[in-house]
Structure 1
Amino acid sequence: MSFFDQTYDVIVVGGGHAGCEAAAAAANMGSSTLLVTMNLQTIAQMSCNPAMGGIAKGQIVREIDAMGGYSGIVSDRTAIQFKMLNKSKGPAMWSPRVQSDRMRFAEEWRLMLEQTPNLDFYQEMVNGLLIEGDRVAGVRTSLGIEIKAKSVILTNGTFLNGLIHIGEKQFGGGRAGERSATGITEQLVDLGFDSGRMKTGTPPRVDGRSLDFSKMIEQPGDEDPQKFSYSDRTKPLTKQRSCQMSYTSPEVHNLLREGFDRSPMFNGRIKSTGPRYCPSIEDKINRFADKDRHQLFVEPEGWDTIEYYVNGFSTSLPEDVQFKALRQVAGFEHVKFFRPGYAIEYDYFPPTQLKHTLETKLVNGLYFAGQINGTTGYEEAASQGLMAGINASLKVSEKDPFILKRDEAYIGVLVDDLITKGTKEPYRMFTSRAEYRTLLRQDNADSRLTPRSFEIGLAREDRMKALEKKEAAAQNLVDFFNSTSIQPEEANPVLEEKGTSPMKQSDKMVKIFSRPQIALEDMLQFNDVKSYVREHDLDTEVLEQAEIRIKYDGYIAKEKANADKLQRLENIKIPDNFDYTKLKSLSFEAREKLSKIRPTTISQASRVSGVSPSDISVMLVYMGR
């Protein structure tokens, strides 16, 4: 007998970053939603580093925010430092990142979810799914309570049969201090799903009072900090906390090597694959034996706490080895541990078993999001949760699915990579994974995605109006530069100072602005520009948009044309029941891979690993193209 007397539209299992965004999206789209998690006190817990954003990840957070997700707002409200990374490169590479107050981040998420209509909560372990025929019908908890639902989103993170390793010691757990979840993997495997194991790790947490920051290098935030969210519900930081930087040394490395025979990574106890681009310290000194030092970023966990995160020292070595080695790092001579680092192994399900909506191919109405799909990172998880929540809600309402293409969003790249190529190691987003990163900049995520989200009922009307106002202001400023002339006597002092050739006669301002040596701050020295900006009260975002449109217009247009050409293959659909075995001209590998992945378009088929251009030609000929 259940005390849940309703059938929910959507049940979300797990309260991490994926689960929170999934629950918020489904509820905000009008679906009756239940978030079930093992511990309501650890909703949106930052299990690893206390930060959001970074290279490519910052673009994802801005995309989530542009569609009406909560991650950007929560990040802004609980930030203690803001940095725009890669500012010395072109705008396609700019990536926002915040250092977060870990406790307040989780609290803010909890409070925002509690204020979300249509959303209920329940604390307990889900250890099984209710299945009727080929579709999901709800969940079963460890108390035997059955809760009915039209769709279920699994966002179990590292909790599915989680196993924690510290040196020779190992014990069950989903993260430090919390038990693992059991039952779901076994049931899914019985239903025909393939599963695997992955590994991730985390560094020690230390007492800031025991550190000597005078021996470290200060890492302050930006002088003029921006923010993640496009909405007016947040403000940029007015004060910030600095991080610090120190280095390992050959002595540190030698002490760590002494413990390698007790390391679960090297003695065979850990058999699963860890993240290639965020390796443990023992993996780094083993793989990069020629380097005599590695950076360590010492990050405060909040405004007021004394707890610090040692970024770059992720490890599963025995706690005594960790302690002895870290005490040889400059500034850590008297360090006190809050807790040692550890590695964790957990179950995941290869994401080639999903559709682009993140719904499973085997069970109707069942969605996977986050680390269950083999990804790593808060941002990657949150974006999948958002997409799963949107699509579960749309399916329940019998509406068309919401799918982002590779030229529309980093989120589109991430989902397509996962379901088309799969992953055998924790997947992390990088700008290099995107073919169209000039189009997918962090500054234009609202232009790309807010209209699309507004159409499906997630982004609010006030966001659309704010976007329209910003777009008009930016275009009007571009038009101003195109139509306004400047005289040589005003322009030449600035041009000569910047080492670019002087003007000989009056010309349009856009000609000057287009020069690579001239930046926005240089243009703001001219009287007409200063007057225009002051008169129209233009903010940083509008000015930045105008500058990018003028300076990178040619690059953007070229990349858009390339994307449009490839769209031709995206429009050629492959029937659901297409029999690849009939095409004897396809390579054996192509027939095998395509039969397994079951791509929906020729474009997706061309991205499947092992499918060659000649295989695509065969399919095009067969389809009369």
Structure 2
Amino acid sequence: MDFKYDVIVIGAGHAGCEAAVAAANLGSKTCLITMDMNKVAQMSCNPAVGGIAKGQIVREIDALGGYMGLITDKTAIQFRLLNRSKGPAMWSPRAQCDRNKFIWAWREVLENTPNLSIWQDTVKEIIVENGEIIGLTTFWDVTFYAKCVVITAGTFLNGLMHVGKTQLPGGRMAEPPSLQLTESIVKNGIRSGRMKTGTPVRIDGRSVDFELMSTQDGENDFHKFSFMNDGTQHLKQLQCWTCYTNEEVHQVLREGLAESPLFNGQIQSIGPRYCPSIETKIVTFPDKEQHQLFLEPEGETTQELYLNGFSSSLPLEIQIAALKKIPAFRNLEIYRPGYAIEYDFFDPTQLKHSLESKVIKNLFFAGQVNGTTGYEEAGGQGLIAGINAHINCHGGEPFVLARDEAYIGVLIDDLVTKGVDEPYRMFTSRAEYRILLRMDDADMRLTEKAWKLGLVKEDRYELMKSKREAIKRIIEFTKDYSIKTALINDALEFLGTTPMKYGCKLIDLINRPQITIDNIANYVPAFKQMLDEIEENRKEEIIEAAEIQIKYQGYIERERMIANKLARLETIKIRGKFDYDSIHSLSTEARQKLIKVDPETIAQASRIPGVSPSDINVLLVLSGR
């Protein structure tokens, strides 16, 4: 039996769900193929969303009309805003979620999205004719035809799990791998490689002595992930706990290193540098006496707990023996051990910025198959791939985000320009325009773009516009309103800041470190009255955004000026214009890298490792600039 669609998405992880819903909401007849409908958007590792830079990506997904933020808010069991002590460019939301409720909230979205069908099966082969994908076949011998296909297979492609010397094929614990699909893709000229990731032991909470651990509470202020959240509270806020390893733990681990697949040659692929296993930590930092661990609930009612910081592929008995040396775990019982998993990925330098393959037309890749790690990175890629798959079906220019527009833009540009030699994880340090890519203004940056695409509907667009107007009104008021010394100096002393000698504009006072819009408004009745007119359930969000723009205006303007200067290079298109191998004024390394990446613009070429400023000058001269 044959089926025909505009867009087919292979895999229903975080990338696949966002890709499928985006393509369908834009109007493409879409099919999402998954091995298990009960595991859509499964949190394979930590049941948490967000974190440093990752939280910003989720807000961008939300601003573009994606669903990760809405579903996180709906299923969160603990919310925190990280990096509060730093500037707003570093503030990052993070939430623990109920793992099962997260799945079913996503499934509700998928099953009620117009134009979207779901098929439970495993894809074994893609069908390519004349360098263009036209469909695929499954293990149930069903043939699907499509104008575009998006591959988001996560860790399932030839997945192999490791616990000590035990090896078991699988994409996740108790779930089979996807076989043959990698080989089908590679035979069509696309390069693949192997990567490794891991996950920790899952603990039975009834066996833990929580009195020997420190508590880590959540926060209940106005912050959330979705700009569409109407102020609804999260699920019941649960505690997390912290404890530390000790020398006894480390000694057990050291004695077991010979049986670790990471150190005995059993695993050859490279794991994530920034989320190392516990055995890697004790080898890399031999003088460190302890490592912090976080014990986090998997759901609102389950006893299952996730031990963050103790990822391992050591034999089961060694994992348990080591953990029992921690006082809180002396009576430890577990649900399953930690394990490592190796899987196939495809070199992302073979992709365009739209995430379409340069090798096979209308074939897109998103998520861990591109060498990334993390639900948020996957979701961001999935959204962009789904949008562009729809565009390829119905016409239009590719939808691409620049590095100064979104962390998603930084992520994709890094992947297609630099490639990966280890699982890629987003950090704020990867973005050169951090002050422009704050969590508070993702909707200001991106929602209008998505509205023009048709992905964001009128209600969301109007909500963004009303927020923009409210922010503008606050800032204009502070610029125009004059403060007299006699009326404000007592208040300034009470607030711990120097009294004024002369009158000034309200904006000048708010720029003082000790002054906020909230604490000064009580002393300026006209200002307070204006603030009270703001819609109540969005008031705090709007005031925060306005205050950030006031206090950081100089930094924002300076970074925008730098971004605008460099944007000139983004307009100089060079793909297909040069035979790099024949340009001998370029360095040998530059020629090799330029041939491999085939950059779209001069700006992209300048970001390729091994391409020097002098090489860029050569290209500028040859471009007539």
Q: TM-score range by the shorter chain?
A: over 0.9
Partner of 1:532: 530
Partner of 1:303: 300
Partner of 2:104: 107
Contact 2:74 2:235 in 1 (8 A): no
Q: Distance in 2 between matches of 1:233 and 1:536?
A: 14
Aligned length: 622
Q: Distance in 1 between matches of 2:623 and 2:386?
A: 35
Write out per-residue CA displacement over residues 159-185 of structure 1, whole angstroms, 9 at most, x where no aligned residue. Answer: 000000000101100010001001111
Matched-pair identity in %: 55
Say which SS state the counterpart of residue 124 (structure 2) adopts: strand
Partner of 1:467: 464
1:398 is aligned to 2:398: no
Say which SS state the counterpart of residue 136 (structure 1) adopts: strand
Write out per-residue CA displacement over residues 31-74 of structure 1, whole angstroms, 9 at most, x where no aligned residue. Answer: 00000011111101111001000000000000000000010010
Partner of 2:66: 69
Write out per-residue CA displacement over residues 201-234 of structure 1, whole angstroms, 9 at most, x where no aligned residue. Answer: 0000011111111111110111425211011466
Q: Distance in 2 between matches of 1:497 and 1:350?
A: 60
Write out per-residue CA displacement over residues 475-522 of structure 1, whole angstroms, 9 at most, x where no aligned residue. Answer: 101111112222324432342244432112332211110112222332
Q: Distance in 2 between matches of 1:404 and 1:294?
A: 38
Partner of 2:383: 386
Give the counterpart letter for 1:270 in structure 2: I
Contact 1:85 1:95 in 2 (8 A): yes
Say which SS state the counterpart of residue 455 (structure 2) adopts: coil
Report which stretch shifted further, 474-483 or 221-230: 221-230
Say which SS state the counterpart of residue 120 (structure 1) adopts: strand
Q: Distance in 2 between matches of 1:422 and 1:613?
A: 20
Cα drift, residue 433 of structure 1: 0.2
Following superposition of structure 1 onto structure 2, how do residues 309-324 of structure 1 map, counting pairs within 5 Å? Answer: 309-324=306-321
Residues 553 and 370 from structure 1, CA distance in 2 versus in 1: closer, same or farther, beyond 3 angstroms?
Answer: same
Structure 2 counterpart of 1:516, from 513, 516, 532:
513
Segments of 5+ residues of structure 1 without an aligned counterpart are none
Give the counterpart letter for 1:606 in structure 2: S
Following superposition of structure 1 onto structure 2, how do residues 74-153 of structure 1 map, counting pairs within 5 Å? Answer: 74-153=71-150
Give the counterpart letter for 2:621 in structure 1: V
Q: Distance in 1 between matches of 2:123 and 2:577?
A: 34
Cα drift, residue 139 of structure 1: 1.0
1:193 is aligned to 2:190: yes
Give the counterpart letter for 2:505 in structure 1: K
Contact 1:161 1:180 in 2 (8 A): yes
Cα drift, residue 403 of structure 1: 0.3
Partner of 1:560: 560
Write out per-residue CA displacement over residues 386-424 of structure 1, whole angstroms, 9 at most, x where no aligned residue. Answer: 000000001100111100000000000000000000001
Give the counterpart letter for 1:141 in structure 2: T
Q: Distance in 2 between matches of 1:489 and 1:217?
A: 49
Give the counterpart letter for 1:545 in structure 2: A
Write out per-residue CA displacement over residues 324-357 of structure 1, whole angstroms, 9 at most, x where no aligned residue. Answer: 1111123111111010000000000110010001
Contact 1:82 1:225 in 2 (8 A): no
Partner of 1:570: 570
Give the counterpart letter for 1:442 in structure 2: M
Give the counterpart letter for 2:574 in structure 1: I
Report the TM-score when normalising by structure 1. 0.98
Cα drift, residue 527 of structure 1: 3.8
Contact 1:246 1:330 in 2 (8 A): no
Contact 2:575 2:599 in 1 (8 A): no
Segments of 5+ residues of structure 2 without an aligned counterpart are none
Residues 506 and 336 from structure 1, CA distance in 2 versus in 1: closer, same or farther, beyond 3 angstroms?
Answer: same
Cα drift, residue 281 of structure 1: 0.5
Contact 2:76 2:235 in 1 (8 A): no
Following superposition of structure 1 onto structure 2, how do residues 412-451 of structure 1 map, counting pairs within 5 Å? Answer: 412-451=409-448
Structure 2 counterpart of 1:183, from 171, 180, 183:
180
Residues 255 and 488 from structure 1, CA distance in 2 versus in 1: closer, same or farther, beyond 3 angstroms?
Answer: same
Residues 238 and 321 from structure 1, CA distance in 2 versus in 1: closer, same or farther, beyond 3 angstroms?
Answer: closer
Q: Distance in 2 between matches of 1:416 and 1:234?
A: 35
Q: Distance in 1 between matches of 2:231 and 2:456?
A: 16
Cα drift, residue 545 of structure 1: 1.3
Q: Distance in 1 between matches of 2:388 and 2:220?
A: 40
Write out per-residue CA displacement over residues 297-333 of structure 1, whole angstroms, 9 at most, x where no aligned residue. Answer: 0000111111100000000000000001111123111
Residues 62 and 428 from structure 1, CA distance in 2 versus in 1: closer, same or farther, beyond 3 angstroms?
Answer: same
Report the TM-score when normalising by structure 2. 0.98
Q: Distance in 1 between matches of 2:232 and 2:226?
A: 9
Say which SS state the counterpart of residue 313 (structure 1) adopts: strand
CA RMSD after TM alignment: 1.2
Cα drift, residue 88 of structure 1: 0.9
Partner of 1:367: 364
Residues 119 and 223 from structure 1, CA distance in 2 versus in 1: closer, same or farther, beyond 3 angstroms?
Answer: closer
